[in-house]
Each structure stands twice: as C-alpha cells, then as structure tokens.
Amino acid sequence: MTDYSPIWIKLVLVTLVLAFGALLDVKSIRKARREAYIEKYAFRQELLDKLGHHFPHLTKPQIEQVINGLRYYFILRLQHGDNIAMPSKVVDALWHDFILFTKDYQVFCEKAFGGFLHHMPYTSMTSPADAHSSLLNVWRYCCEQEGVNPIIPQRLPLLFKLDNELGIPDSFGYSVEQFIYPKLNTYIITPDSLCQGINEKMRKDDKRQAYIGLAPIVKPYLLDDKYCKSHGGTALSPLFDAVLRYENLAVAIFGSIELARERQQQAKNFPDPASCG
C-alpha cells in the first residue's frame, strides 16, 4: 500500500505558509488603513482654538504645522510602539488638549491604534536613563523617516526643531550638537549608520580636518567589545573598511594603522548575532 503521508505533510505545510502570509497581509492592510485614518483625521476647531489660547502668537499656518507634527508622532507610535518620547512641547500641548475631548479621543484611538493611547511625557518617566532612551528612540525613528543621519546630523528632524522655529517659550531647545554621539543607549547606533556618517562627513568636509571631529564620535564604539559583539563581524566589516580608507582617521582612533588593522582582524572573529546560541 502506497504511503501518501509525505504529500499530506507538504499540503499542511503549504496551507500553514499561506495562512501565515494571509495573516501578515491582513496586519499590513490594517496598519495602512490606520495610518491613512491618522493622516486624514479632522481635528475639531475648538481644539485648535484651545491651542491658540495657550500660544496666542501662533498663526493659522503655524497651528497647521503643529497639527501635522501630532499626526507625525501618532504614526510613529503606530509603527514603532510605546517607548517613544514626545520631544515637542507645543505638539505635546495639542495632544494633551485632544485627550480632554474624551469621546473624540477614545474614538480616534480605537480607529487609529485599536486601543487607548496613553499620554506620558518623557520628562515624567521613572528614571533619567529611561527618559533618555525613549528620547533617543524617537530621534532615531525621526531621522530614518526624514533621511537624517542619526550619528552626525546636519539638521534637526521636524519634531525636534518645531518648538524653536515657532518660538515656543521654555521649550527643550534641541540642537544638532546635542545628538552627536549620544551618551546613553548607544547600542541603537548601528555600524551601518556610523559608516554612513563617516562617508558623508569625509565627502562634504575637508578630509584633513574632518577626522578630528569624527574620531571621538566613532572611537567609543570600535573599542567597545560589548558593542562589537552585539553586532558581529559581518556588520562591522564595512565600518572598519571606511575607517581604514582614511589614514588620519584610523590613526586618530587607534594610534596607528597597524593597531587599526589588528582591531579589524579581531572584529572579523566576532560571530554574527544570528549565528549565536
């Protein structure tokens, strides 16, 4: 008697794969619909009037900028989850006032997120490290969205520059320099973004001087075994290639070309995260 079990196994596997693909499609479609809902949502005029009362110097076009900032933030939360700070004081004020229109906000959250979105300013988080981690998360996501290099930024993303541009009093006053080589949660900085930053800086600036500013930014990562092991040799290889392409930069980081190549060889031996365990 012929054994047909392998055929049934294949059919079951194909069915499971198709079902999983269909589930992914459903989630993708749902997320796209929610994003479109956020983008098209019409905020009631009373809410906008309230924002104008808080900040009477804002013009109608400037209030529209704040509305777009809140839409932008909501979409980031939809895409990336909870641990994302609100970096703008004026956008945060609009969000807070929106919550006070309780029925509107509840309906909005159900349609946009599938549940209530709680409001927590990053300044009220339980520890400075958590607050800074949350701020760096939104910094990274905004940079990705707007094509800004998160390591060596040439400009601030929308949510980080809006308060300054609109003259909001007592704002956080972010600057580009503040986000060069963040001091906490450095493991969100990938070798790829470091490599991109090196290439951009060397391409745009005087190569004889650019390495002076780059070396202290890149050095802590390349000398940190924990950081290097967390990414693995494959991810680190282009970064070391970029450093060794510029002799002055390699010497400024490692002390000599020979030591730079020795560290490069060590890095090649770090296993890739996917192959660990």
Q: Give the pLDDT confidence of 199-248 residue by residue, as tens digits.
A: 877 776 666 667 777 787 788 788 888 888 888 889 899 999 999 988 88
Residue 124 has pLDDT above 70, yes or no: no
Give the mean model confidence (pLDDT) for residues 56-80. Answer: 96
Residue 184 has pLDDT above 50, yes or no: no
| Cβ contact 109:117 at 8 Å | yes
Most confident of 101-105, 119-123, 133-137, 200-204: 101-105
Compute the Cα dihedral for 268, 269, 270, 274 and give only its sign: positive
| Cβ contact 161:208 at 8 Å | no
Angle between helices 89-100 and 45-54 (to 10 degrees): 130
Give the mean model confidence (pLDDT) for residues 43-62. Answer: 95
Measured CA to CA, the distance from residue 49 to residue 55 in angstroms comes to: 10
Question: Among 65-74, 167-176, 266-275, which is the least confidently predicted range?
Answer: 266-275
Residue 19 has pLDDT above 60, yes or no: no
| Cβ contact 101:30 at 8 Å | no
- Please give the single-letter amino acid code of residue 206: D
pTM as predicted: 0.62
Helix H segments across 81-157?
A: 89-100, 102-113, 128-146
Give the mean model confidence (pLDDT) for residues 62-68. Answer: 97
Question: Among 37-46, 108-117, 170-179, which is the least confidently predicted range?
Answer: 170-179
Measured CA to CA, the distance from residue 31 to residue 80 in angstroms comes to: 11
> Could you tell me the two tokens for 5?
């079990």
